[in-house]
Structure 1
């Protein structure tokens, strides 16, 4: 039976790992060889999760669904901050696109730049979430404000409430709002486990790559249902595997991704959220193949490499003497994302969009 791992609270490690991983962290493994190793790990993950055949896989999936129902809404929210969100914004300005969209972008055409793909995905959210001017919109997990600021500019009469677990992200978004003379945004710093908001106050709730950090979707969707007006809608963007679901664990020698970048995280299946419709009902679902995220992550890597000197300066501020180690770890993270989502031509892992509705009568 699969259960949620009791993952240890994040503690940053500023020395290279032993063995081959440590060689890679010190930049002693060529990128082509490192990417090949990542693809082998992807194949091993699929074999592990499918061990025992379809019946055993389905039993483990069902057991994990039940575990999620009894979990906290989110675990180790401090780890997400330490691993991603409390880094200086300058790091992400050097690696991400101009919107600072720290999630998969959308490449419907060949030859698109990272900035083009950011704009394309943001526009797709507006369409699929059915956003219109004048709405009251709640964004859960607003990151560096890519969607928050896009909505504020696109829908100037909307009332937008953005929620982040990171004080540095709040300060960044507030500064951008001031610079752009945006006055229809309120940013809240809060842990989603204890977030309290007015009942029946929002026409829309949107959330981009936050649900992968969540566990108890039944409770979370119930709370969102309470915050939405009758007939209000929730739009969610998450990365997924097409059929499998598994937690990122740090037991034993530890999973490198879980230890350094995704402590307490979950890889949902494309249908995971469909098991939690007590309060909100599914209205639409869309699947994007993994090549969109593959291209996004490769663009992030290219920008980090192109801005190496400036990135090293920022990482020295964040990591001190371990800056060079973390420069390579971030490179490895981008490569791991690119190879995971690009695996088998993007047919295994990808991105899912969902639109849920709160019934007019509950």
Structure 2
């Protein structure tokens, strides 16, 4: 799942430019320009006071994470993304329904090609292989789960999601494709319990941004892995800054509608939680890969308006459907402009490979 800028709003969310944008009254070029200004404002605010002040805020955030549950506002995340009908995402995402950054090695890939390119990159970097028992935390609409099940028919895939609709979708796809090596568990990650020493690999794609207590989750994962197992993580991140999406004392459009309880990690955030798992390797991809992904999602939504509007009406109610049409468009644009900011050199995609100590 994806991401956000500050997109702060006035105390009354129905006033101001955000309300105009939600009614579709602001041209895309102006809206994108405003998002870029908010990106610059976020960088200025988070960098205020120089390196010592930044370090103090970073350490304070680490302390807050240590005292948090594994994840916050899981139900809100479900409502905002994971219980929206699959039909909406089938219209907006690529063929494999990858709801996370794709990979554009040449910059000319189609969305479908970029989905496969990133999935293959996971397989290479996580050293996935036939015969393994693989745990996927936060499986989304099954893009990686189904790819692994097809690529490695002798592997066993255990996928975990907190969404009943995602489980139903994945199991139906397994039935249609004749895949019998997939188990899907619906569970809040705060309450997830699995047998110790069971898995050769654990993979997680854009789920750790919903996590607040990384140390606790990584300790659990270390117990679930075999001694020679590995954890592969894909997250989006800022190259140096870490901050929650909800600004203290203020409203936040992105946090309220799309990313309640979410955290923007820094590229080195997970490096602070190696008590049970040690880092073997880290890779960084510049943000233009996510920029292209989100722009493709936006183009798909625009091209499928007649197909999508009845879905939004059934999901949000007829009076709110147009507003949500515009909100989703704003969300894709916010993702594209955030990750495209400074030619992708600020916000980015990070991959990590951890091994049990």
Q: TM-score by structure 1 length?
A: 0.94
Matches within 5 A, 1:242-253: 242-249=239-246, 251-253=248-250
Could you list the runs of 4 or more consecutive aligned residues of structure 1 that deviate by over 2 angstroms after TM superposition?
Answer: 250-253
Which 10-residue stretch deviates more, 308-317 or 94-103? Answer: 308-317
The residue number in structure 2 matching 1:38 is 35
Is 1:119 matched with 2:116?
yes
Correspondence for 2:212 among 215, 221, 232:
215
The residue number in structure 2 matching 1:12 is none
Correspondence for 2:342 among 341, 344, 347:
344
- Report if the CA contact (8 A) 1:200-1:229 is conserved: yes
Deviations 1:101-147 (A, max 9, x none): 00000000132100000000000000000101000000000000000
Is 1:235 matched with 2:232?
yes
Correspondence for 2:191 among 186, 190, 194:
194
Separation in 2, partners of 1:229, 1:342: 39
Matches within 5 A, 1:306-317: 306-317=303-314
The residue number in structure 2 matching 1:300 is 297
User: How many angstroms does 1:83 deviate by?
Assistant: 0.2
Separation in 2, partners of 1:252, 1:273: 27
The residue number in structure 2 matching 1:152 is 149
Deviations 1:70-116 (A, max 9, x none): 11100000011000000110000000000000000000013210000
User: How many angstroms does 1:26 deviate by?
Assistant: 0.4
User: How many angstroms does 1:17 deviate by?
Assistant: 2.5
The residue number in structure 2 matching 1:167 is 164
- Extract unaligned runs of 5+ from structure 2: 1-11
The residue number in structure 1 matching 2:67 is 70
SS at match of 1:193: helix
Separation in 2, partners of 1:231, 1:297: 36
User: How many angstroms does 1:252 deviate by?
Assistant: 4.2
Correspondence for 1:93 among 90, 94, 101:
90
Structure 2 CA distance for partners of 1:317 and 1:251, relative to 1, 3 Å: farther
- Report if the CA contact (8 A) 1:17-1:25 is conserved: no
Correspondence for 1:82 among 79, 82, 97:
79
Deviations 1:24-68 (A, max 9, x none): 010000000000000000000000001111100011101111111
User: How many angstroms does 1:197 deviate by?
Assistant: 0.3
Q: CA RMSD in A?
A: 1.0
The residue number in structure 1 matching 2:323 is 325
User: How many angstroms does 1:304 deviate by?
Assistant: 0.0
SS at match of 2:354: strand
Separation in 1, partners of 2:272, 2:108: 38
- Report if the CA contact (8 A) 1:133-1:158 is conserved: yes
The residue number in structure 2 matching 1:106 is 103
Separation in 1, partners of 2:248, 2:323: 23
Structure 2 CA distance for partners of 1:215 and 1:253, relative to 1, 3 Å: closer
- Extract unaligned runs of 5+ from structure 1: 1-14
Is 1:61 matched with 2:35?
no
